[in-house]
Amino acid sequence: MAATDIQTIDCLKDYLYRAMQLEHATIPAYLSAMYSIHPQTNSDAYHILRVVVVEEMLHLTIAANLMNAVGGKPDLTRADFVPEFPTYLPDGEKDFQVSLQCFSPSALDTFLKIERPGLAPDANTRRIPRRSRGTAKLAACPEDEELEFYSIGDFYQEIERGFEHLYRVHGAALFSGDPKRQITSEYYYSGGGELRPVVCMESARAAIGLITGQGEGDGGGIYDAERELAHFYRFEQLKLGKYYEPGDVPHDPKGPPCQVDWTAVYPTYTNPRLEKFDASSELYEYARDFNRDYAEFLALVTEAFNGKPQLLLDAVPKMFRLRNGAMQLMRNPLPASKASADSAAAGQPDGPANAAPTFEVAEFAR
Amino acid sequence: MRFPSQAAKKTQLEAACQHTYDVVIVGAGVAGAIIGNELSRAGKRVLMVEAGLGEDITVKGYEEYLQRFYATAVKDNQSPYPVNPNAPMPRGTTVRPVAPGQPETSGYIVQTGPFISDTTYTRVLGGTSMHWEAKTPRMLPEDFEMASRFGRAADWPISYDELEPFYRQAEREIGVSADVEDQRYLDLRFPDDYVFPMRGLPLSYLDRMVDKGIRGTEVEIDGERYPLKVRPYPQGRNGIPNSEYDGGKGYVPVGAVSTHQVEEGERCQGNNNCVPICPVQAKYHAGKTLAKALQTERLELLTQAVASKVHVDPETGRVSHIEVKYYEDPDEPHFVTGNIRGQLFVLSAGAIETARLLLASNLPSTSGLVGRNLMDHAYLLNWALLPEVAGTMRGTNATGGIVDLRGGSFRRSQAAFSVDIHNDGWGWAVGSPYTDLLNLVDDHNQFGAQLRRDLAQRISSQLLLAFMVEVLPNPSNRVTVDPAYTDALGNMRPVVSFSVPDYTMRGVAYARRFAQTVFQRLGARDYTFYDPTDYGYIHYEGDGYIIRGGNHLAGTHIMGTDKHTSVVNSDQRSWDHQNLYLVGGGSMPSIGTANVTLTLSALCFKTAQAMLEELR
Amino acid sequence: MRHHAIDVFLRFSAEVTGFKIVELRGTGESGEYLGTLDRIVGPDVVDELLSAYAELQPREEAEREQLLRRQIFGNEKLGPIARNIIKLWYVGIWYQLPRNWRERWGVREADVTFTVSPNAYTEGLLWPAIGANPAGARAPGYGSWALPPEIPQV
Ligand SMILES: Cc1cc2nc3c(=O)[nH]c(=O)nc-3n(C[C@H](O)[C@H](O)[C@H](O)COP(=O)(O)OP(=O)(O)OC[C@H]3O[C@@H](n4cnc5c(N)ncnc54)[C@H](O)[C@@H]3O)c2cc1C
Ligand code: SF4
């Protein structure tokens, strides 16, 4: 067992906060792609995105359970919780940023990178020096801003090591959190795996295993321990045009066709910001309303994660409302005046672009 | 849940005709699927013959149903399903009033009346479960003893307690959401430690408003008092799994099925569209059971094959083979014929189709009861506006109802009923919310903000009470066939004659008074109106009512204790043909006030057990 | 695409449906509906309606309502079309024009009752107006039915 940097429970809590940030950060990106799909088209892509989003939310919830287990307080309302897009994720090669953009080949490539499997070859390389500066970042090593993890899997491996280490030091006292704060399947149910309370070392290990397995597959296979296709391979199906079947090997799906229609998508403005909207327009109001709803949603989830799990049931209709709001924005053209300056910039759709949710919640922070 | 992709490749007729299967099943609805799954899992080779297309085997195919539904202007029960002249189905919108002495032939079912029903069933893979509403109440213990308790109809050959373990199996298979505390009433008994697979779905806001208005009040019939309240219905749709299920093992809900992995339908999202199609497959349909059966790789599926004749060896009385007509294209009447052989045969084509097939095969029947005793619940609709906005048009079609009058001593003289509170408002009765829109725009000349306010006020306070009234067996209510009426493949169409018995009409008349009482207690404005020109209009003791078909078809091959008074025994085995099982609602000797599917599913588990014994 | 027409069409639609232009565009159906009108009753009649509306523009609200009734909803030719536009937005269905309209201004072949597209159904404004979702689409989520409805105030 390699040594860990996580020597104190406070440090572990920092890591777990980062984990929640990390799980959340991909959600706006996936939602932006998913809602941009014309309704009743691209069924294959829509379903894949939907599953991944649901599982990311599950991971977020698991991370909150881990945090609660060690007596921490999950907080999705901290000013730095929602990143500014585009944002880096802790992929060792630092070759991509995550953007809010409509469903497109470049969005798919990003998703493949986010979920890309790959553990660093050995302990020395699992953290690598940060090369690029000046951009928002996630899952950086909390106590050393200069280092980042090679992959999401490595990051969680570090957390697991931290748990093991602190468990050796503190024993069962590590799990000092109130078990009533744990979120179970009763309150958050998704097919993507059962949500079990984290109350001991064994359940903590299982929780971490579920997150990493769903993202990247179990031990190099395409399926995770629950026999679900890992996210990377789900996305790869869209790229390769075929579904995986049990028995298939990575990168060579042999199942029924999986189709994409890149034209059946609303061309939304990439990484939109409120400042691109005309502040006196109705559209601006709606974009801002979306952000307010999103901030309220995060606040409600925070409350649920802090001892009121039943509130998660109320969060579900809110989620669906956000969907309606997002889709409404994406069908409205973003008037050219403000946006046109960037329209030639890289990453924007060709031709006029539509509005989209900006996920800027800072102004509504509590 | 995944269909193995080879299942999508489907069995070809030629290949199927070369085998002798352990079991041949006709009809891939819930009844056939349960038996197919149980037997194939126990190692038997099973062929499933299905008249409809197998379109819904992938999520995309399933979504085509949905698209078709979205795209039609008239969203009736059958609107998601493709018109298929080779395996036609009845459709409510085609029903017309009957002229005296002249059968109503415009729909698939030829109706000779006097009562004309808009009842339907669906002939696609998965059968009518694709579009059922998925309420899953059990029958009451007293429903099994109608003759000895109330001097009505016949007792069942089995008791509630004998069927009880099979009810639990059916609840597992269908995945029922309910809280057992809510379901212990009128002597409904469960093992002490029983819980349903998933927790009950919450009552709708509308239900709660009705409950608030009636709770603590009573009605009196026949000298007995019945307290009123709104009780949640058990439902065959995914809720929150109950971790205490199965001695603490819990329950894993089955979501959408497809040839590739999709995760959806793990929980009902409140689409309010269970009938005619649940968009996310949170609602149970027989495809979920079929998918499990197909995974055994011992069940083969032959779709687009209409069973047309059952052949019997005249010496042994055993079924030798079933003749099927296999078509390539639903719009072309061209077909090829094949003979399917097996040791045991199961007809699970639905109460009307199973009887139709037997009658068209001209088989001998000792009791002469094949096709007779057709039953279906009689629905009486009552509609009103509540004094305040109640959030109508949200939730599953019905989350709760008034069920305390399902049983009682009054059943000696009049029918029992259960009352559904329809979360979809007046839709069933008058076509809301579309008709409200047309009325406000065209007649009330509203537009703009006022129109919005009026719409919200009018639609959101709608209350529709649908009374599901008991219908007892009557031999003259029956299915027959007539060579004068055939479908595109030349199969004889079912001919139905039906009259609503007086016993039921007494219950209907009381139901109307009961509705008025409830509306009075709620301060609701009663808008109920029964149009005398409607095809379902019935005059009874000076008043008129409109009766709607219940879609709970039963009784065409009732079970009993001997071959002279029944068609099948309590294992649903035909008295006349030892290797033939007739399964489904048709076997039920009475239907009480329970939507039939849970009970017919329980019976199928019992039958599967008997068949396995026989094959051993 | 008739750019100017669509602007006036949206302004008219917003006024007669009681929804905002953002919400109308948010259905993704604005072009589709104008196209449907053009196809069924012809661009000439559509323009007649839109110019009649454009003339009402700069008035006080109370006066406008009266004018809308006198000049458009009460106009024998334009009224039925205006009412159909409301219905299009609300439920995505084009309803066949009344018989007397067809007798007087000519039967249009495409003038039959139909749902414009699957999306037109799911994006109908009737549903948000009553705090609900179209049956079978845009699900509100498990258990949402137990809460009081959220009917937007107008
Ligand atoms: C609108 C509606 C709502 C309902 N709601 C409820 C409810 O809430 N609760 C409840 O308990 N029940 C409900 N029902 C009733 C329920 O759907 C049926 O009881 C149940 O689906 C019957 O299942 P089955 O397998 O016996 O028959 P079916 O589902 O009818 O299946 C018969 C199958 O046989 C096939 N078939 C028919 N003829 C042939 C042939 N000649 N050859 C080969 N195949 C053939 C058909 O295509 C079909 O697949 C409802 C029904 C409707 C229409
Ligand atoms: S309410 Fe909706 S999601 Fe739930 S079962 Fe019915 S149709 Fe399916």
| CA B241 to ligand 1 centroid distance, Å | 26
What are the residues whose beta carbons fall under 8 Å from the beta carbon of B197, sequence distance 6 or more?
Answer: B171, B172, B175, B176, B177, B241, B242, B245, B251, B253
Distance of CA C51 to the CA centre of its chain: 16
Q: How far does the CA of residue B522 sit from the closest CA of chain C (Å)?
A: 18
Using CA coordinates, name the residue in chain A closest to B9.
A256
* Amino acid A342: pLDDT: 54
Task: Tell whether omega for the bond before B589 is within 30 degrees of 0, i.e. cis.
Answer: no
C-alpha angle B474/B479/B480, rounded to 5°?
125
Hey, how many other C-beta atoms are within 10 angstroms of the C-beta on A68?
26
Tell me the chain B residues in contact with residue C145 when contact means C-beta distances shorter than 8 Å.
Answer: 202, 204-205, 270, 272, 391, 394-396, 399, 423
Mean per-residue pLDDT, B496-511: 97
pLDDT band at residue A92, thresholds of 50, 70 and 90?
A: very low
* Range in B127-136, B520-529, B606-615 the model is least confident about: B127-136
Nearest chain A Cα to C131, which residue? A321
The pLDDT of residue A5 is 78
Quick check: B434 and C91 CB within 8 A? yes
Give me the residues paired with residue B559 across strands.
Answer: B568
Contact A258 B260 (CB under 8 A): yes
Which tokens is B497 given?
């004659």
For A185-240, the pLDDT digits (tens) are 777 766 556 688 999 999 999 999 888 777 665 556 777 766 678 888 899 999 99
Stronger pLDDT, B55 or A178, i.e. the higher one: A178
A128, β-bridge pairs? A148
pLDDT band at A184 (very low <50, low <70, confident <90, very high): confident
CA distance B414 to B412: 6
- What is the Cα–Cα distance from A268 to A354, expressed in whole angstroms? 4
User: Which pLDDT score, from 0 to 100, does residue A140 have?
Assistant: 46
Residue written as tokens 């790789």? B297
| CA–CA distance, B9 with B58 (Å, rounded to integer) | 12
Residues contacting ligand 2 via CB (< 6 Å): B 237, 268-274, 278, 280, 282-283, 396; C 139
Instruction: Look at residues B297, B257, B333, B289 and name the one whose alpha carbon lies nearest to residue B489.
Output: B333
Q: What is the pLDDT of residue A50?
A: 87
Closest-CA residue of chain A to C149? A317
pLDDT confidence tier of residue A53, bands split at 50, 70 and 90: confident
Q: How far is A190 from chain C, CA to nearest CA, in Å?
A: 12
Ligand 1 within 6 A of CB of B350: yes
Average pLDDT of the residues in B79-88: 89
Residue A209: predicted pLDDT: 87
How confident is the model over A4-18, as a mean pLDDT? 89
Handedness of CA A161, A164, A169, A173 (dihedral sign): positive
| Cβ contact A274:A85 at 8 Å | no
Amino acid making up residue C47: D
- Protein residue with its CA nearest to atom 2 in ligand 2: B271
Chain segment B377-410, per-residue pLDDT in tens: 999 999 999 999 999 999 888 999 999 999 999 9
Exposure string for B222-259, b = 16+ CB within 10 A, e = fewer = eeeebebebbbbbbbbbbbbbbebeeeeebebbbbbbb
What is B6-85+95-615's CATH topology?
FAD/NAD(P)-binding domain (3.50.50)
Is pLDDT of A327 > 90? Answer: yes
Ligand number with the minimum distance to the CA of B355:
1
**Dist CA A278 CA A270 (whole Å):** 17
Integer Cα distance of A86 and A99 in angstroms: 4
Which pLDDT band holds residue B2 (cuts at 50, 70, 90)? low
Testing ligand 1's pocket by substitution, the residue of B143, B597, B605, B607 carrying the most ligand atoms inside 8 A of its CB is B597
Closest Cβ opposite residue B266 in set A190, A229, A243: A190
The reported pLDDT for the residue numbered A217 is 58
d(CA C42, CA C46): 6
Range of the domain at A252: 9-270
| The token pair that represents A301 in the structure block | 């989830």
> Considering only alpha carbons, which residue of chain A is nearest residue C120?
A39
CA R_g for chain A: 20
Q: How far is B393 from chain C (nearest CA, A)?
A: 6
Residue of C96, C99, C145 for testing the chain B interface, max B β-carbons within 10 Å: C145
| C25 token code pair | 């565009």
Which H/E stretch holds residue B301? strand B299-302
Query: Higher-confidence residue: A118 or A165?
Result: A165
- How many of the other CB atoms lie within 10 Å of CB of A171? 10
Torsion angle, CA of B360/B364/B367/B369, rounded to 10 degrees? 0
At A193 the pLDDT is 61
Average pLDDT, chain A: 83
- Mention every residue, 6+ apart, whose C-beta is less than 8 A from residue B171: B136, B196, B197, B234, B598
Lowest mean pLDDT among A305-319, B250-264, C58-72: B250-264
Which sequence spans correspond to the domains of chain C? Answer: 3-121
Q: How far is the CA of B121 from the centre of ligand 1 (A)?
A: 5
- pLDDT at residue number A148: 65
Cβ within 8 Å, pair B272-C90: no
pLDDT(B419) > 80: yes
- Average pLDDT in the B362-372 region? 95
Q: Is the pLDDT of residue B9 over 60?
A: no
Q: Which chains touch A (3 or more CB pairs under 8 A)?
A: B, C
Report d(CA B95, CA B113) in Å as an integer.
12
d(CA B263, CA A229): 11
According to the model, what pLDDT value does residue A219 have? 59
- At B435, the amino acid letter reads T
Computed over every residue of chain B, the mean pLDDT equals 93
A–B: how many Cβ contacts below 8 A? 56
Structural domain total, chain A: 1
Q: Which residue has the higher pLDDT, A138 or B422?
A: B422
Q: What is the CATH number of the domain that holds A209?
A: 1.20.1260.10
Contacts of A145 (CB under 8 A, 6+ apart): A130
Let me know if residue A253 belongs to a domain. yes
pLDDT class of B126 with cuts at 50, 70, 90? very high
pLDDT value of position A39: 86
pLDDT computed for residue B106 by the predictor: 87
pLDDT at A1 over 60: no
Q: How far apart are CA B72 and CA B513, in angstroms?
A: 37
Task: Of C23, C129, C11, give the one whose Cα is nearest residue C72.
Answer: C11
Q: Tell me the Cα Rg of chain C.
A: 16
A344, pLDDT greater than 80 = no
Per the structure block, which two tokens stand in for C110? 């495409």
Average pLDDT over residues A23-48: 92
Write out chain A residues lying below 8 Å of C118, CB-based. 39-40
Task: Show the tokens assigned to C35.
Answer: 């196209």
pLDDT for B261 equals: 56
Model confidence at A126, pLDDT cuts 50, 70, 90, reads very low
Nearest Cβ partner of A320 from C118, C119, C139?
Answer: C139
Would you tell me the crossing angle of helices C3-17 and B448-460 to the nearest 10 degrees?
50
Please tell me whether residue B462 adopts helix, strand or coil conformation: strand
Q: Whose CA is nearest to atom 3 of ligand 1?
A: B132
Distance from the Cα of B83 to chain C's closest Cα (Å) equals 18
Q: Is A124's pLDDT higher than 60?
A: no
Give chain C's length. Answer: 154
Mutation test of ligand 2: which of B69, B132, B273 has the most ligand atoms closer than 8 Å to its C-beta? B273
DSSP letter at B28? -
What residue ranges in C11-149 does DSSP mark as E strands? 93-94, 114-115
How does residue A118 score in pLDDT terms, banded at 50, 70 and 90?
A: low
Residue A128: what pLDDT? 42
Tens-digit pLDDT profile for residues B538-571:
999 999 999 999 999 999 999 999 999 999 999 9
Encode pLDDT of A127-168 as tens digits.
444 333 333 344 444 445 544 666 777 788 889 999 999 999
Instruction: Give strand ranges (E) for B477-561.
Output: 478-486, 492-498, 525-526, 537-540, 543-549
Q: Give the whole-angstrom CA distance, residue A4 versus residue B534.
A: 79
Spatial CB neighbours of B261, under 8 Å, sequence gap ≥ 6: A228, A229, A243, A244, B2
Q: Before B114, cis peptide (omega within 30)?
A: yes
Q: Which stretches of chain C drop beneath a pLDDT of 50?
A: none
CA trace torsion B263, B267, B273, B275 (10° rounding): 90
